[in-house]
Structure 1
Amino acid sequence: MKAVGTYRSQPIEAVNSLVEEVVDQPNAEGRDILVRVEAVSVNPVDTKMRGHRKEDNGEFAILGYDASGVVESVGSDVTMFSPGDKVYYAGDFTRQGSNAPYQLVDERIVAKKPNTLTHEESAALPLTTLTAWEAMYERLGIHEDKDAGKAILIIGGAGGVGSVAIPLAKQTGLTVIATASREETNDWCIQRGADHIINHKHPLQPQLEELGFSDVPYIFCLSDTAEHWDNLVNCIAPEGAICSVVGVEQPLNLTDLMAKSATFAWEFMFTRPAFQTETMSRQHEILKKAAQFVDEGKLTTSMTENWAPLDAETLKQAHAKLEGGGMIGKLVISQKT
């Protein structure tokens, strides 16, 4: 089979930043299922994995961390899926990715895709849904029974994760304050269900105060953590909780949060599959619940662009678009035209 990947860290402009190679089609064993990939979406993690590989060891790495497709075969220990099932998943960054005709993936991080969405629409959801769900309900500890009516500040509301976090937060009964800086991103956040929009190009606390909020109990940071550190410290309520998905190059001064006894947590969606944690199957449960939400009309796809085919040239253009900034929602690539 012909897959798209990279051999070494290179800028996307380099001729061989992404290349096509013929590789053996893998076989499903144990708890793995072999999926015939129908569509993938492109995420910032794809560009980071391409441009900042920890080891340039000359091995061919297939990228891609979101997919929707059809189960081709299953390993001997698989209990949740059968050939022919239509599934979606985000995968595992320690294994070969989805930018290929077929991919092996552990059944514990897969679910049947929403019945009411196409493969393309479904492929936009797994990574961002898992990230938003884990961050809000597990890292921040948000629960409808105790938090309905409280406010959450989502910094970077128009990106892939924000596009899912906003409607999920509304489902939980939260008041959503999202940040955006352009008319089109403002409109997108409102369309996804945000109650208020403030501009992350300016200090956030004065804007919150104009809306009648002295602070907020929850902050979900989807933009540059270091750049927004003062905003996080100033806007979080005493005994509040902050979660971020954007790593930093220099240590954060967590002492800034001490006076408020505020909690800070990281969310990395790949933790469970990468470390084979005891809670790994939670990702199957989350994706299953998210598919139910979609089919009930409580959640919609965040796909805003659909390209084809899934080849090196198309993926180069997709990586360049994401690295250029300003992406709204998710960019999806179909396997075939």
Structure 2
Amino acid sequence: MKAVGYRQSLPIDNPLALEDLEIAAPAARPHDIVVRVKAISVNPVDTKIRARRAPTEGKPEILGWDAVGIVETCGAAVTRFKPGDRVYYAGDITRPGTNSELHAVDERIAALAPQSLDDEQAAALPLTSITAYELLFDRLGVPKQGGAGQTLLIIGGAGGVGSILIQLARELTQLQVVATASRPETRQWCFDLGAHAVIDHRQPLAVQLESAGFGTVDLVASLTQSQLHFDSIIESLKPQGHLALIDDPGPLDIMKLKPKSLALHWEFMYTRSMFQTEDMSEQGQLLAEIAALIDAGRIRSTVNSRFGRINAENLRRAHALLESGKSQGKIVLAGF
């Protein structure tokens, strides 16, 4: 089958950084569905893995942790899906990725795709939706329809996770939502998604929050450049506030959190699948909830760039845009 992967970690401007490949089709484990991939999206994790994970045993590494496709076959223990079902999912970082014609995924972390979206629109959603949902409700502990009188600050509101987090916070909670963005087009993007206010993360946060009438905030979701913003985030948080991180910052001095008794939370959406946790099926269930919200018109897809067919040339362009730090919303590709 066709796939896109790499044999060595190289800068993205090298033609061999991602290659068109022919590899063997996957075999289904008992809980797996084997999916014929129709569309994918690209996430920062793809560029990080490409830079850090060397292929082993001479086998190419296949990236990609978002997909929409049609179920072709089911493992012996599968109960939730049947051949012909149209599904979407983010997958498992410990297994080969979705940049291939056929892909095997555990049924517990997949769901039926939103009926109202095309393949590319739906492919933009799984990884970022899981991350945003778990961060908001599982890590920060905001109750559904709760958060009245509290403010959430989102560092990096126009990125993939920020774009869905703004919508979930507005639609499913009563939080005041402040996002950060630094360019006119990304500021408008955040407003269009529902942010109550948008401030510039290149300028001191606390001063802007005060000027906007928010003062200090109760909750912070730091989605990018957490090391750079760490001191400013601490200044902006109320005593006994909560900070959630998803990126890979350098060492942080957590003693700075002590005077305000601030709580630090990590969100890593692969934890459940990596460790086969007892609540692993929560990811499939939350993706079903996201699909229902989409089909009801309560939230929308965050796709912003369509990069054509799934091949090495187009994926190299997508990785380059992500690495530039100038992407907005999600990048998607469709068809082999």
Name the TM-score, length of structure 2 as normaliser.
0.97
The amino acid that maps onto 1:27 is: A
Residues in 1 aligned to 2:196 and 2:314: alpha-carbon distance in whole angstroms = 36
Equivalent position of 1:142 in the other structure:
142
The amino acid that maps onto 1:175 is: Q
C-alpha displacement at 1:145, in angstroms? Answer: 5.1
Residues in 1 aligned to 2:304 and 2:25: alpha-carbon distance in whole angstroms = 31
- In the TM superposition, what are the counterparts of 1:222-233 in structure 2 within 5 Å? 222-233=223-234
Q: What SS is found at the alignment partner of 1:260?
A: coil
Q: What SS is found at the alignment partner of 1:227?
A: helix
1:235 aligns with 2:236: yes
Q: Which runs of 5+ in 1 are unaligned?
A: none
The amino acid that maps onto 1:222 is: L
Residues in 2 aligned to 1:146 and 1:193: alpha-carbon distance in whole angstroms = 17
Residues in 1 aligned to 2:329 and 2:72: alpha-carbon distance in whole angstroms = 30
Contact 1:8 1:58 (C-alpha < 8 Å) held by counterparts: no
1:108 aligns with 2:108: yes
C-alpha displacement at 1:279, in angstroms? Answer: 1.5
The amino acid that maps onto 1:319 is: H
Contact 1:158 1:328 (C-alpha < 8 Å) held by counterparts: yes
Residues in 2 aligned to 1:199 and 1:36: alpha-carbon distance in whole angstroms = 42
Residues in 2 aligned to 1:259 and 1:57: alpha-carbon distance in whole angstroms = 49
C-alpha displacement at 1:247, in angstroms? Answer: 1.2
C-alpha displacement at 1:15, in angstroms? Answer: 2.4
C-alpha displacement at 1:59, in angstroms? Answer: 2.3
Equivalent position of 2:158 in the other structure:
158
Residues in 1 aligned to 2:92 and 2:53: alpha-carbon distance in whole angstroms = 15
Residues in 2 aligned to 1:65 and 1:334: alpha-carbon distance in whole angstroms = 14
Deviation per CA, 1:66-100: give whole Å up to 9, x if none: 00111111000001000011100001111011101
Contact 2:145 2:174 (C-alpha < 8 Å) held by counterparts: no
Equivalent position of 1:120 in the other structure:
120
Residues in 2 aligned to 1:57 and 1:7: alpha-carbon distance in whole angstroms = 10
Deviation per CA, 1:172-205: give whole Å up to 9, x if none: 1211100011100010000000000110001100
Q: What SS is found at the alignment partner of 1:33?
A: strand
Residues in 2 aligned to 1:53 and 1:29: alpha-carbon distance in whole angstroms = 24
Equivalent position of 1:219 in the other structure:
220
Deviation per CA, 1:226-273: give whole Å up to 9, x if none: 001011111111111100111123x21111111111100111111111
Question: How many residues get paired?
Answer: 335
Q: What SS is found at the alignment partner of 2:265?
A: strand
Residues in 2 aligned to 1:28 and 1:55: alpha-carbon distance in whole angstroms = 22
Equivalent position of 1:203 in the other structure:
204
Contact 2:137 2:144 (C-alpha < 8 Å) held by counterparts: no
Using the aligned pairs only, state the percent identity.
Answer: 46
1:245 aligns with 2:246: yes
Report the aligned-residue RMSD.
Answer: 1.2
Q: What SS is found at the alignment partner of 1:157?
A: coil
Equivalent position of 1:78 in the other structure:
78
Equivalent position of 1:132 in the other structure:
132
* Structure 1 residue ranges, 4+ long, deviating more than 3 angstroms after superposition: 54-58
Residues in 2 aligned to 1:54 and 1:25: alpha-carbon distance in whole angstroms = 21
Query: Judging changes above 3 Å, is the alpha-carbon distance between structure 1 residues 191 and 231 closer, same or farther for their aligned structure 2 residues?
Result: same
Deviation per CA, 1:33-57: give whole Å up to 9, x if none: 0000000001111111111115665
Residues in 1 aligned to 2:328 and 2:335: alpha-carbon distance in whole angstroms = 22
- In the TM superposition, what are the counterparts of 1:214-293 in structure 2 within 5 Å? 214-249=215-250, 251-293=251-293
Query: Judging changes above 3 Å, is the alpha-carbon distance between structure 1 residues 54 and 60 closer, same or farther for their aligned structure 2 residues?
Result: closer
Q: What SS is found at the alignment partner of 2:13?
A: coil
Q: What SS is found at the alignment partner of 2:288?
A: helix
Contact 1:179 1:199 (C-alpha < 8 Å) held by counterparts: yes
- In the TM superposition, what are the counterparts of 1:52-63 in structure 2 within 5 Å? 52-53=52-53, 58-63=58-63
Residues in 2 aligned to 1:318 and 1:185: alpha-carbon distance in whole angstroms = 18
Contact 2:146 2:175 (C-alpha < 8 Å) held by counterparts: no
Residues in 1 aligned to 2:186 and 2:299: alpha-carbon distance in whole angstroms = 19
Q: What SS is found at the alignment partner of 2:189?
A: helix
Is the deviation greater in 186-195 or in 143-152? 143-152
